[in-house]
Chain A
Amino acid sequence: MNLKEKLIASFIAFENQVDLDNPVHEIRSEAIRNFEQKGFPHRKMEAWKYTSLDRLQKVDFSLFPSKDNDLEYRDVKKYFLHEVDTYKIVFIDGIYSSYLSETTHDGVDICLMSSALSKPIYKPIIDVYFNKAASREETLTSLNTAFTREGAYIYIPKHKAPRKPIEIVHFSTGNEAALMLQPRNLIIVEENAELQVIERHQSLTGNETLTNSVTEVFAAKNAIVDYYKVQNDRESASLIDNTYIRQKDNSQVSVHTFSFGGKLTRNNLNFYQDGEHIQSTLKGVTILGEKQHVDHHTLVHHQQPHCESHQDYKGIYGERSTGVFNGKIIVDRLAQKTNAFQQNNNLLISDKASVNTKPQLEIFADDVRCSHGCTIGQLDQDALFYLQARGIPKKEAAALLMYAFANNVLESVRLPELKLRINKLIAQKLGVRLGFEL
């Protein structure tokens, strides 16, 4: 039985465990039909040309892990941003861990998808927002929608901001030989509200995991959202991250993706601008080695006039790693005065590494400023020589240059503790000790 058949068969078992009268279940049933019809994406599809899921479909993933997997905080402390106090929503093998988490209902709702789906007070919000940003066509998103049960639910009412940043962390313990997880997050930030989220997926053993995650973010007028994705998982973990963001007038949303690990990582990051004077920022640093594969697919859809989008993705590829960047900007006829910028710079530092990139513009309005730039190259030999001439060993000099190359993406990170953490990760990844703090 391949993975598709297994998933469809287990949907019936899944139905026994959830409330079938909930209107959400209709959405689930529709989604599983869509998935059944289309199946997994394959390399003949334009959007999946460079990323193959064939291997993963042959793995015998368990879909419903057994319960009660406990972890001690001290064992996993290093995966949290422990230098600063945060709200935490923690899942172990897909199941909520109340012991490690810190949620709240004080003014803002930082809690669970499962309770949002079951409790009547959340129903009006679920009705308005659930599955409204996510694509109904994308088959992996449909698959996730079909199995919607657990994930993070964050609701920030008007003029509010949570006191501290929120961390969403998924651990997989490796109690199963191979585990597939499908978390579903819903984040709503109302007018003039603010939010900072850090998301992380971490497997604790070398057992195979596949995460197919969907996150929907709604930013109302003047809302400010900072979303950080830290992807530094083991060689055994694969992640398909689908994020859909809808923005209203004057809102500012930025997503930073730090991809340093994982076997196969696919980021589908979609921005839809539903108002005027919106700012969207998409930034990423990718540093890969071994046989890792990262595929960034971004979409910014400018639908209204006077909006801006800014994309900056840097990649450093070593050993046998492969990187993909596909950035798409659509400017509708209505969206005059759009200012869209996109940049993708790549460094190839090994003979076996490869990069495929496709910056794509689709423009239907005439009074716009859209530009994209893309480079693939290697370290500047002159700069390297300059540093060596001043007594810096070649390896450190190279690392320093790579560090500088990746660093300007970090400038817009607004959480100093996270910035420091990422800095350390970059230094560690490049195998040097940087003799300075930033």
Chain B
Amino acid sequence: MAYTEEELKKELETKEYEYGFYTDIESDTFPKGLNEDIVIAISKKKEEPEWMTLWRLEAFKAWKEMEEPEWANIRYKKPDFQNISYYSAPNKKPKYDSLDEVDPELLETFKKLGIPMEEQKKLAGVAVDVVMDSVSVATTFKKTLAEKGIIFCSISEAIKEHPELVQKYIGSVVPQKDNFYAALNSAVFSDGSFCYIPKGVRCPMELSTYFRINQAGTGQFERTLVIADEGSYVSYLEGCTAPSRDENQLHAAVVELIALDNAEIKYSTVQNWFPGDREGRGGVYNFVTKRGLCETNAKISWTQVETGSAITWKYPSCVLKGDNSIGEFYSIAVTNNHQQADTGTKMIHLGKNTRSTIISKGISAGQSQNSYRGLVQINPRATNARNFSQCDSLLMGDRCGAHTFPYIEVKNKTAQIEHEATTSKIGEDQIFYCNQRGIDTEKAIALIVNGFSKEVLNKLPMEFAVEAQKLLEISLEGSVG
């Protein structure tokens, strides 16, 4: 399926038409509340085949029976699920006409992150003319991908175009009934990304939702499905370092990764959603289910930098089903002001000679609470399984909290498990050392935090790592008393 510039232009034109068609935005937003009719209506709106509608209904049925989980170490006002509109067409109208109208604080952050002007406009929701440059970039990308047989599109497109792949794999790693939010997402997911790497193909570039300009704004119930066929490799980036001001308070995404024999998936996330103001008002609730399945000799590596959201509830996991498979988890979670994060990973060892590594760095400042919650499970048949976990917490200020809840369950005697955790603060002597050499305290702290997070930052793709580093500095700004 060759994709030419012409086609893209055409696509954009039809898109425009669509926009024109739905001039009345009100009429395209569903009434608040959730019931079977709404689920069917969402499915219909997206022109999905019948199996998909049934699949959604099954999830909805399960969701009705479930209770909202309360075990996480977070406190928040529970969302009223009947007071949310579950479908609204992406926001067509630009929020602002020019950059001058945008919140100056936001612009300041953009500047610090070094984001180009055009991108700034796009991110802040300023009307952008189709920038020739970025279109051509996107098109060249699409061309190269199509040549290799890589499918990279929105999930609704994939449901229509590649139903056999979607039907086979959707829900195979995160079943509809997996948990409360996964069930909700399965019932009402609005859109998301789909990616398929054929056998033996090494994806030539970092796939990123960020570049898929025609797919921006996938909504609050995002569904991602990445399939790496035998012997393939893909590196996938999600999110971006720029703060995004989303009005949707509740986000419940599901990400499923499938790495078939000898495949490797590297999934990196940078999350910087609105964390609420200094007093902890507002902010995004981020309840995400992410899980990957590794077949024989496969490898899945999760890297995440979490700095945003008022509430984060997220455990990217690996099911190491095949022999010799590898799971990795590298995470930095930063909380400031009134943010709360309960994040970690699950490594389920099923196959022989499976290995997993967990490196988690938590930094809490202000009045925030930061928890690591992880599970390492070695099943009876997983001989010679190996795990190394390290959870370090850094506390800045005496009003924040750091917590660790590592669960380790071993049912095989050949397993070797190591877990270590430390909690500390930035040493006064370290800061003094920097001060002495003419580095002011704020800079010194940035330096120390960077050193603390180095192990994880190193795992990010190059461009991302630089931005993420700056992001850490900004997130912790003003937190040092």
Binding site for B on A (CB under 8 A): 46, 333, 336, 346, 348-351, 353-378
Contacts and interface: CB of A to CB of B under 8 A. Distances in A.
B418 A348 contact: no
Contacts of B421: 359, 361, 371-373
B470 to A, nearest CB: 24
Interface in B413-433: 413-425
A355 B403 CA distance: 22
A383 to B, nearest CB: 15
Contact of A358 (B403, B408, B416): B408
Contact of B406 (A346, A354, A374): A374
Contacts of A358: 405-408
A355 B408 CA distance: 8
B413 A362 contact: no
A358 to B, nearest CB: 5
Contacts of B414: 378
B423 A371 contact: yes
Nearest to A348: B413
A370 B416 CA distance: 24
B241 to A, nearest CB: 27
Contacts of B403: 360-363
Interface string B389-402: 00001011111111
B422 A370 contact: yes
B413 A349 contact: yes
A354 B411 CA distance: 4
A376 B423 CA distance: 22
Contacts of A378: 413-414, 416
A372 B423 CA distance: 9
A333 B395 CA distance: 12
Interface in B233-270: none
Given A368-B424, A374-B417, A46 B407 contact: no
Contacts of A373: 418-421
B423 A361 contact: yes
A41 to B, nearest CB: 16
Contacts of A348: 410, 412-413, 415
Nearest to A378: B413
A372 B422 CA distance: 7
A374 B402 CA distance: 19
A288 to B, nearest CB: 13
B412 to A, nearest CB: 7
B422 A371 contact: yes
B422 to A, nearest CB: 5
A279 B403 CA distance: 22
B409 interface: yes
B76 interface: no
A41 B422 CA distance: 32
Contact of B425 (A349, A357, A366, A377): A366
A375 B418 contact: yes
Contacts of B413: 348-351, 353, 378
16 contacts: A351-B412, A355-B409, A358-B406, A358-B407, A358-B408, A360-B403, A361-B403, A362-B401, A363-B393, A363-B395, A369-B424, A371-B420, A373-B421, A374-B408, A375-B418, A378-B416
B394 to A, nearest CB: 9
B71 interface: yes
A135 B403 CA distance: 23
Nearest to A370: B423
A372 B406 CA distance: 11
B415 A365 contact: no
A377 B408 CA distance: 12
Contacts of A369: 423-424
A354 B397 contact: no
B404 interface: yes
A373 B422 CA distance: 9
Contacts of B401: 362-364
A361 B371 CA distance: 9
10 pairs of A and B residues whose beta carbons are closest in the complex? A348-B413, A366-B395, A376-B417, A354-B411, A374-B419, A370-B423, A366-B425, A364-B401, A371-B422, A357-B408
A335 to B, nearest CB: 10
A375 B412 CA distance: 14
A356 B410 contact: yes
A375 B417 contact: yes
A359 B416 contact: no
Given A346-B410, A376-B417, 20 more contacts: A336-B398, A348-B412, A354-B409, A355-B408, A355-B410, A357-B410, A359-B406, A360-B404, A361-B404, A361-B423, A371-B422, A371-B423, A372-B404, A374-B408, A374-B419, A375-B416, A375-B418, A376-B410, A376-B416, A377-B415
A364 B364 CA distance: 10
A350 B395 CA distance: 41
A360 B406 contact: yes
